[in-house]
Structure 1
């Protein structure tokens, strides 16, 4: 954690505040013009950018100075930054930009922005060195080919001074308004009152630990039971810590839509209890995925295709300024605001992330390799506090972020829609793919369009030692060809081809950092219906710690909280937390008398026993409902098992009011499903353990009076999971528990936690599997439960 880093923003000179702005931030604020244009995406990663700058420095030689610290002042605005390169002998300043694709199709507004940055640095150097003129060079480095394109302009110091002062004048009003907002925000948060008459039991201990962690710049792993108000109990102290810890931003990161909704509701409640000006000077931003916010999904993200991208940066300043007067920056509010200003709502939200005090979004907005919030934290040198909601999900989600797959069928389909240079590049990928299979002695079982579908081992799984170098090179070339095609003729690029380009690039990036934390394997994918089997090559992350560690280190403080973080050492190791991370286990405020917990010792939900035990599961559910009608949730290990129970219940007990979760339910459908748990109503809802209705939902009182869990939640024993078990055994020493037991029991405890939400609730829980009688399983259940059977 960066506890000792000074907070950026304003400097007190004794003669009034001096506002500080980075060169890049100044130019992006007032020098961007023209269309939004994403044709040269995906952009190089931060690491590729650093490597590119280092490459240019080596090529230039010792006479060229790198990372030259510069600053200049205009009125009460201090602008500072680091020039990429300065050659005193040649009087040449270089601004280096890494890129992909052909520069000939670069958006003019992007080029103008780059020149604006170079010119600001040029003035700073002229002022520092007493120069009357200087040569400026934009150096574009193609990260895929290593080639340079250098554009040179000569400027007088006087022209650069005028340019610098013009930009500063445009920025000053906004910068001063931001400083005033920061002052008002901190004053309001310093006097923020807790929004309820008193803390719930355990909630105060949680809030105090979070506040101390923010003040001290520490990491806290907090386990707190469901129903104590963890969302308010973590957000309230961090809002109070905004002035006390000199925080710039708070990021609330969650795994599911329900968690995001709870956070936004809590923030609305907290803002209503702030003293002083109305509305409360706290900007709360909701970030959503692009496919959820896009108004023109059939259009490409550039001005020649999408009307909301055309002239985006020309209309952005007006949209940004008036957004500051909105009551909130929620998805729906910003959608209406973006429509009024004719800008893209998704990229408006991305822009407002620079100015929000609290941002609520998915894990991937910070932890993904190309995450916006992490990038802004580094660029702006923010002092950030992270809140990670339902943190037991982060291990699996991070593994997914840092894994990548490629299949023979994917290659085949992509080639069908390719032509020209892209087709040639994909032909090479196909040849390398076939060579890979042959190299590992996989005999061809069936050929389809030139892509062999081999017979693997008897288990249809093969572990490799390392990424195949020649295939990685071919994938890099294919990704580059797709991006070049996207730049040249964006409307001609098939969505599937574009996705392959992104997937290939992700594969290459992960192959470059391959290590013991990741497996690489070939596995057979069984074809559906008449489709043939396929072969899939996967880079499968097992321990996400190496990827997460630099992102965690960029934050000033970090709080990860959940009802299920046992054992803490497991999470600390796999997530890469500090060795001195704090641990808090909040005692449950509930008593054993509130929840009757029954174990069905005569039921086995193991796959081979399900059909035989189905009548007992059905009988238990029906008997409990008839004894005490009301709302119940029944959880199962899969949709197939759920369907079997649903069919049996409907057949044997046709009078029971049943409804069931379906695969791929939309957000409105999920909301309608939850609305069925109405106060005073009754019914049995069937759902999948670990799904949308197994955690992050609040159904107090008689909206839910009981649950049935007909599974232990253990992941399936298969070759993939067995290899993960062996790798975890080698790396951390508890492979079976880490692979199977801990993830399974976390899902169980989360689902069971839907029943008792307040100290007044009364409910029942049926654990329908004989394995709940085992000591190692009982040890991971909440201590306050009194388990019978």
Structure 2
């Protein structure tokens, strides 16, 4: 073929050597760190001439293959592929062993060709992490045999490689001529698109604050797709915070691909869906003996993969249709197709989580990736969650009663350390207490962490020998302990440790991330370009600091297409919603809602800082104004109940919906026209004043000098602006926002409100 197609040895063998069932039964596997340490241990046991991590490469008819062999002993003429494991090797799946042999044979062929060797000893080295024992499986192979094997693997991959190279060429040619899908840009759209194109072309990070309603999704996808061939991007990842964001991205991509027959862009689009949402048999175990879609998965995968890439459009429904037509698992077909799609739409965790699929693929395959991150104002809190973990004492207590006897000692040791930590935390007796007690720990409880590490290792080793004992409770404790210990290894000023106790034997030890920048910065560095966009990204330094964005990050604010006359903004600075003023605030808040509704009947949303505050205001409003339709968000609302709440906002309807600021109805919902004509916000949205947030404030002050703003004021105002943004959704909308708290009149607070708002009248 005219252009060389590159493939890593691992990817080549993954493609050609796997066969048989998909098998995701729990098999304890070493962590990445343990794997690295295992490879280092094996190398340390070899002679002085031993070469570890030997780079090898070769070509076959334009197919470039490269990788790193784990080790070569030139004295013994032995090439090694090292695999770490736990438990009995007898339980290793046959297709795994076949994959390992394929890898070492390909490396052997490359080595023989490079060094003109006539033959070589190939050895699989299986290192048991628990015992340090090596099991060596060896076979002699001639250079001719290995070359024949290499040729066979390459030929089996070559047709696919040529297809992929041809697809890449057709894709890039088409994208060079891509046109904006609408007759004209909306106000602000062109400006945003130009900024995204410049950022992608210069390999920089862009923070783009753009108002709702201008079409941010298509205005970010279009320019990055345009830049894709020129910047030789391998993949674009459109990352969202919530499921509705994926649908918006897919709708925009469908428009950009075109819909007329013969005029569809050769662009492969894949939607990644969570495993629990994609599983066809949630009551079955994920292996061939239980699930019919796992049986023979790898045997049927080639045909399913070919059908999928030929179709090109692979949203959740289309992917499921292809998967079921070929009797393979939709979720794992999607995981495979992430290697071959051009644009991947999925949750932010696919790039930023510690085990992120897309980031791992990008690193393994040396991809150039463009990131588009929607609703980016949520990334700070989402990332904090990704890099936090908990240990649950109650789970341990339940498990100790039912765990195998072989695990009694490590679990009892962990239980004793729990008691030590609780005693040192000096909790009062909470056995009869309804409210939990909370303590911040000044240091990491190293002995408890060590006990958790030992318990995790013991459980892992035990399940390696006795997989039949892998109960759900035991696995959950294991995963909890492993996650906690991994984060404990990186514990520092970016995190804190706390303990919450509610009754005897009911405590939770938490590692809470405070500054996600330390974890996210390498992820942003790994991308060619990143574009973070939202209607609320002010102030820029807040996101630069807390997300660890590159120093050359550009911040842009797209001018709002909305005029101040469209949105009447009033501040009730005679009302205080501070906690100790809330009882007194109820009456004027109710009067404000009623006066506005009587002046202009229609649909409104009223936002409060908590359910208790909401319920108090709602009860008073119903008592005083029984003729006004009201409906309310409730605690723990299910999806069907949330849908029913939103359906109340029908065109031409009337009523006031009571909701909690920062909840499901404060952002990400679209109620244009007269479906929503106003919002009342009875709070600044400030996080609660407590030990946790005060510690966060201290850490952020020490790191950035912005503790109060970064902990309280900015996060609160982000919620306020998002909630207010539900009112004006299109150029024809008219509405009102009433901000009910005297602090909204403060200069520091007003500076965080949208610049296009008119705040001339402080009172109604």
After TM superposition, is the score higher than 0.5?
yes
Please state how far the C-alpha of 1:51 moved relative to its aligned partner: 4.0
Please state how far the C-alpha of 1:492 moved relative to its aligned partner: 4.5
Q: Which runs of 5 or more residues in structure 1 are unaligned?
A: 1-14
Among 194, 202, 206, the alignment partner of 1:208 is 194
Q: Which runs of 5 or more residues in structure 2 are unaligned?
A: none
Equivalent residue for 2:587?
Answer: 615
Please state how far the C-alpha of 1:659 moved relative to its aligned partner: 2.8
Among 242, 245, 263, the alignment partner of 2:249 is 263
Please state how far the C-alpha of 1:278 moved relative to its aligned partner: 4.5
Equivalent residue for 1:164?
Answer: 150
Equivalent residue for 2:439?
Answer: 461
Please state how far the C-alpha of 1:734 moved relative to its aligned partner: 1.1
Which SS does the other structure have where 1:422 is aligned?
helix
Which SS does the other structure have where 1:565 is aligned?
coil
Q: What do the CA deviations read for 1:520-545 (whole angstroms, capped 9, x no partner)?
A: 22333x46xxxx58332211111111
The two structures, once aligned, show a CA RMSD in angstroms of: 2.5
Matched, 1:104 2:76: no
Equivalent residue for 2:700?
Answer: 728
C-alpha distance in 2 between matches for 1:627 and 1:593: 18
Equivalent residue for 1:152?
Answer: 138
Equivalent residue for 1:384?
Answer: 369
Equivalent residue for 1:558?
Answer: 530
Q: What do the CA deviations read for 1:325-375 (whole angstroms, capped 9, x no partner)?
A: 335211122223222222221111111111111111111111110110100
Among 490, 507, 525, the alignment partner of 1:513 is 490
C-alpha distance in 1 between matches for 2:639 and 2:139: 53
Q: What do the CA deviations read for 1:440-464 (whole angstroms, capped 9, x no partner)?
A: 263684789xxxx9x99xx741322
| Aligned pairs for 1:639-788 within 5 A | 639-787=611-759, 788=761
C-alpha distance in 2 between matches for 1:163 and 1:582: 51
Equivalent residue for 1:322?
Answer: 307
Matched, 1:482 2:459: yes
Matched, 1:368 2:345: no
Given that 1:472 and 1:508 are in contact with CA atoms closer than 8 Å, whether structure 2 keeps it comes out as yes
Normalised TM-score (structure 1): 0.91
Say if 1:19 and 1:600 are closer, same or farther in 2 by CA, change over 3 A. Answer: same
Which SS does the other structure have where 1:60 is aligned?
coil
Q: What do the CA deviations read for 1:452-478 (whole angstroms, capped 9, x no partner)?
A: x9x99xx7413222x223222221232
C-alpha distance in 2 between matches for 1:228 and 1:635: 25
Equivalent residue for 1:8?
Answer: none
C-alpha distance in 1 between matches for 2:458 and 2:283: 23
C-alpha distance in 1 between matches for 2:30 and 2:211: 42
Given that 1:476 and 1:504 are in contact with CA atoms closer than 8 Å, whether structure 2 keeps it comes out as yes
Which SS does the other structure have where 1:325 is aligned?
helix
Say if 1:82 and 1:686 are closer, same or farther in 2 by CA, change over 3 A. Answer: same
Equivalent residue for 1:282?
Answer: 267
Say if 1:732 and 1:354 are closer, same or farther in 2 by CA, change over 3 A. Answer: same
Equivalent residue for 2:393?
Answer: 408
C-alpha distance in 2 between matches for 1:585 and 1:504: 44
Equivalent residue for 1:237?
Answer: 223
Equivalent residue for 1:442?
Answer: 426
C-alpha distance in 1 between matches for 2:446 and 2:536: 41
Q: Which runs of 4+ in 1 moved over 6 A?
A: none
Among 190, 193, 218, the alignment partner of 2:176 is 190
Q: What do the CA deviations read for 1:175-234 (whole angstroms, capped 9, x no partner)?
A: 111112111211222221112222122221111111111111111111122222211111
C-alpha distance in 1 between matches for 2:126 and 2:636: 44
Among 552, 561, 570, the alignment partner of 1:580 is 552
Equivalent residue for 2:322?
Answer: 337
Please state how far the C-alpha of 1:557 moved relative to its aligned partner: 0.7
Say if 1:610 and 1:33 are closer, same or farther in 2 by CA, change over 3 A. Answer: same
Which SS does the other structure have where 2:159 is aligned?
helix
Q: What do the CA deviations read for 1:105-148 (whole angstroms, capped 9, x no partner)?
A: 22221121111111110111111112222112222344566554
C-alpha distance in 2 between matches for 1:121 and 1:179: 24
Which SS does the other structure have where 1:97 is aligned?
strand
Which SS does the other structure have where 2:390 is aligned?
strand
Please state how far the C-alpha of 1:735 moved relative to its aligned partner: 1.0
Please state how far the C-alpha of 1:500 moved relative to its aligned partner: 1.6
Please state how far the C-alpha of 1:724 moved relative to its aligned partner: 1.0
Given that 2:28 and 2:461 are in contact with CA atoms closer than 8 Å, whether structure 1 keeps it comes out as no
Equivalent residue for 1:303?
Answer: 288
Structure 1 residues 149-158 or 228-237, which shifts more? 149-158
| Count of residue pairs the alignment pairs up | 760
C-alpha distance in 1 between matches for 2:732 and 2:365: 47
Structure 1 residues 324-333 or 496-505, which shifts more? 324-333
C-alpha distance in 2 between matches for 1:758 and 1:78: 52
| Aligned pairs for 1:3-18 within 5 A | 16-18=2-4
C-alpha distance in 2 between matches for 1:595 and 1:284: 38
Matched, 1:398 2:383: yes
C-alpha distance in 1 between matches for 2:719 and 2:427: 41
Q: What do the CA deviations read for 1:373-419 (whole angstroms, capped 9, x no partner)?
A: 10000011101001111111111111111111113223212323422
Structure 1 residues 302-311 or 558-567, which shifts more? 302-311
Q: What do the CA deviations read for 1:304-333 (whole angstroms, capped 9, x no partner)?
A: 333322222122111111112335211122
Normalised TM-score (structure 2): 0.94
Structure 1 residues 415-424 or 26-35, which shifts more? 415-424
Say if 1:754 and 1:158 are closer, same or farther in 2 by CA, change over 3 A. Answer: same
C-alpha distance in 1 between matches for 2:200 and 2:37: 33
C-alpha distance in 1 between matches for 2:568 and 2:390: 45
Q: What do the CA deviations read for 1:480-522 (whole angstroms, capped 9, x no partner)?
A: 3434455555564332322221111001100111111111223
Please state how far the C-alpha of 1:250 moved relative to its aligned partner: 0.4
Given that 1:100 and 1:480 are in contact with CA atoms closer than 8 Å, whether structure 2 keeps it comes out as no
Say if 1:635 and 1:227 are closer, same or farther in 2 by CA, change over 3 A. Answer: same
Which SS does the other structure have where 2:693 is aligned?
helix
Please state how far the C-alpha of 1:247 moved relative to its aligned partner: 0.5
Equivalent residue for 1:431?
Answer: 416
Q: What do the CA deviations read for 1:717-768 (whole angstroms, capped 9, x no partner)?
A: 1111111111111111111111111111011111111111222211110112
Given that 2:397 and 2:505 are in contact with CA atoms closer than 8 Å, whether structure 1 keeps it comes out as no
Please state how far the C-alpha of 1:630 moved relative to its aligned partner: 2.3
C-alpha distance in 2 between matches for 1:52 and 1:171: 31
Equivalent residue for 1:629?
Answer: 601
Which SS does the other structure have where 1:243 is aligned?
coil
Matched, 1:347 2:332: yes
